[in-house]
A and B are shown apart, each in its own frame.
Chain A
Amino acid sequence: MALLEVNDVHTYYGNIHALKGISLTVEEGEVVCLIGGNGAGKTTTLRTICGLLRPRQGSVLFRGHDIIDFPPHTLISKGIAMVPEGRGVFAKLTVTENLELGAYYRQDKEGIKKDMENVFSLFPRLRERQKQLAGTMSGGEQQMLAMGRALMAQPRLLLLDEPSMGLAPVLVEAIFDIIQTINKDGVTILLVEQNAHMALQVGHRGYVLQTGEIVLSDTAKALQQNATVQKAYLGIE
C-alpha cells in the first residue's frame, strides 16, 4: 500500500478547472518531485492533499484512508505536514513559538523538547535565534524555520512547496542537502519545485505537471535524460 495515493482528482477555483484528473502515488521512504511551470497546478495539488481545497471529484488516500472529508487542521495529527509556498512563518512570533506551534497537536512535553533539540541540531542557525521574531530573519532562515516547524509534528509525509523560492544558490544547495537528510531519517517527501534541476537530483521519482494534468512520470534519472524535460524545464537544448 502506498503512503499517499491521489486518484483522478479534479479541483476547481470557482469555475476554473485547475486540476484535471491528477493521479499520483508516493511510497513510504521516497522523495517524489512534482515539477512544472507557473500555473501548472503544483501548489493546487499540494493544497488539495492537505485539505485546504476540496476536490470535486476523485480521492486522496493516506495510508489507505480517504482523507478528502477531513478538515485541514486534523491532518497534521495523522502525519501530514506541509511547508507552504512562501514559507508561511508567523512573523510576529518568536522562533521558539513557531516551532512549538508545529507541535501544537502533541501532548508529550518530553518528546517535543527532544524534537526541538533535533531541529536545532539540524538547523544550528535557529538555535542562535530562538528568541528572535521570525519576521526579522532572512529568507533562508525563515525557510529553515518553516521546515523545522513541520518536522516538530513528527510527520510521516512532508509536503514541501517551492522550498528554493527566492533563495541564493548557496542556500538552495543547503536546503536540498537538508531535504535529503530529513528523508534519510525516514520522512517521506513530496516536493513541488520550479527548480527542476535541483529537484530531480534529490528525488527518486518525478511527475511533470502541465496545465492541470500529469504529462510525464518516471524515475528522476530517466526524467533528467528525457528530451522534453531537458528542453522545457532544465534549460538544455
Chain B
Amino acid sequence: MRSRYFDNISWVSLILGILRIVILVLIVVGAYNTLSSGKYSAEAWVGLIASGLAQGSIYALIALGYTLVYGILLMINFAHGEIFMAGAMTASFLANSFARSGFLNQSPVLAIFILLCFAGLVSASIAILLERIAYRPLRGSPRLVPLITAIGASFFLQYTFRGLYGSGFQSYPGTVDALKGNLTIGSLQTPITLTQVFVFFCAFALMMALYWLVERTKIGMAMRAVSENKEVAALMGINIDRIIVITFALGGFLAGAAGVINGIYRPQGVFFRMGFFPGVKAFTAAVLGGIGSVPGAMLGGLFLGLVESLGPNLVLEGLGIPGANQLKDAIAFTMLVLVLIFRPQGILGERLAEKKA
C-alpha cells in the first residue's frame, strides 16, 4: 500500500511535469514561428502591448475589489462584476449629457474626474448595500453559503439594472477631443493611442492612491490588522464591521471608476450583462497575482491583459490555429486553470498553509 501511494504521487507529478514541458514547447515554437515569419511589424507589436496594458489596467482595478474583500473576509464576492456594471451603466447617462452639453470637450479633465467619482460612488453604495443586506447576516456560516449568495446577488443586480435602464445597449460618447489621435514622441508617431495612455495612467493613479491608503493611513493599518486577525483587531478597539464596510466601499469605488475608464476606452457594449466577463477576467487576474495581495492584483491584471493581447497573435497564430483572435477568452481561462494547477498561491501570494499557521 505504502509504495503504491508514493507511485501515485510520482505519476501525478510526472504528468504535470510533461504538461509543463509541452506548454513551454508550444509557446516557444508558436512565438518562434510567428516572429520568424515576420508577419507583424515592430509597430504592430507595440500596439498590441499598449492595448494589452490598457485592458490589463482595467482588469487590475476590478481585481483589487476581489482581492481586498478576500483579504478581509476570505470570501469571493462573485457579484463584483455587477458592481462594475452598475457604475458603468449609471455613469453612461451622465457622460452622454456631459457630451451633449459640450462640457466633456470643453474641460475634459474636470468632466472625467466628476464621472469617475460619480460612478465610483454609485458602485461603492451598491457594494455597501450588498454587504449589509446579503453578506453580513451570513457571516460565520460555512464558506459555501456566502459564495452561493454572491451568485444570487449577481443575478439580482443584473436584472434590477435591466429593470431600471432597459435591456438595450447604451454607449459612452465617442472619444473626447483631447484624447483623439496617437501618442507622438518628438516627431515620431507611435502606434499607442492617447486613450490607451489615459486609461493606463488613470488606473495607475487610482491604484497608487489605494496602495497609499492601505499602507500609509490609520484606516489602512486597521484593514491590514483585521485581515490578519479579527479577534485581536477587535481587542485593539477596531470596529470590524466598519472596516468591512470600508473595504467593500473601496473595492466598489475602484470598480465603478473602472466602469467609466472602460467606457472611455471602449464606448460600446454598455448593458446589464456587461459585468460578467470583466468580472470573471478580473477574478482570474486576482488569482493569478495571488488573491488577498494588493500588489498581486495589480500585477495579475496587467499580466492577464498582456497575455490576452499578445497570446493569440504571438503563440496561437504561430501554431497555425485559425481565427486566433477569437480565442482571447480561451487564453485567459486556460491561464486560470494553469495557475490553479501549478501555482495555486499566485504570483505574489503566500501559501494558504502559511496563512493558517
Interface residues of A (CB under 8 A from B): 50, 52, 71-74, 76-77, 81-82, 84, 88, 90-93, 97, 100-102, 104-105, 149, 153
Contacts and interface: CB of A to CB of B under 8 A. Distances in A.
B38 interface: no
Interface in B199-218: 218
Contacts of A73: 234-240
B229 A88 contact: yes
B232 A104 contact: no
A92 B231 contact: no
14 contacts: A50-B235, A71-B234, A73-B234, A76-B235, A84-B231, A88-B232, A88-B235, A90-B228, A90-B232, A93-B221, A97-B221, A104-B236, A105-B237, A153-B236
User: DSSP class of B's interface residues: helix, strand, loop or mixed?
Assistant: helix
Interface string B237-262: 11110000000000000000000000
B266 interface: no
Interface residue range, chain B: 10 to 19
Contacts of A50: 235
Q: Which of B218, B233, B240 has the most CB of A within 10 A?
A: B233
Contact of B222 (A72, A77, A91, A104): A104
Interface in B22-74: none
Contacts of B231: 52, 72, 84, 88
A92 B224 contact: yes
B225 interface: yes
Contact of A91 (B218, B228, B233, B240): B228
A77 B225 contact: no
Contacts of A102: 236
Given A76-B235, A88-B229, A88-B231, 6 more contacts: A52-B234, A72-B231, A73-B235, A76-B236, A90-B225, A101-B236
A172 to B, nearest CB: 22
Contact of B225 (A84, A101, A105): A101
Q: Which of A73, A82, A93 has the most CB of B within 10 A?
A: A73
Contacts of B228: 90-93
A236 to B, nearest CB: 36
B232 A84 contact: yes
A101 B232 CA distance: 10
Contacts of B238: 73, 101, 104
Contact of B221 (A74, A82, A91, A100): A100
A101 B221 contact: yes
B354 to A, nearest CB: 10
B237 A104 contact: yes
Contacts of B234: 52, 71-73
A81 B234 CA distance: 11
Nearest to A88: B232
Given A84-B231, A84-B232, A88-B229, A153 B224 contact: no
Nearest to A50: B235
Contacts of A101: 221-222, 225, 233, 236, 238
A100 B237 CA distance: 12
A50 B232 CA distance: 11
Contacts of B235: 50, 52, 72-73, 76, 81-82, 84, 88
Q: Which of B222, B232, B237, B239 has the most CB of A within 10 A?
A: B237
Contacts of A153: 236-237
Contacts of A72: 231, 234-235
Nearest to A97: B221
Contacts of A104: 218, 222, 236-238
B148 to A, nearest CB: 25
Nearest to A100: B221
A77 B238 CA distance: 11
A77 B224 contact: no
Interface in B117-166: none
B318 to A, nearest CB: 43
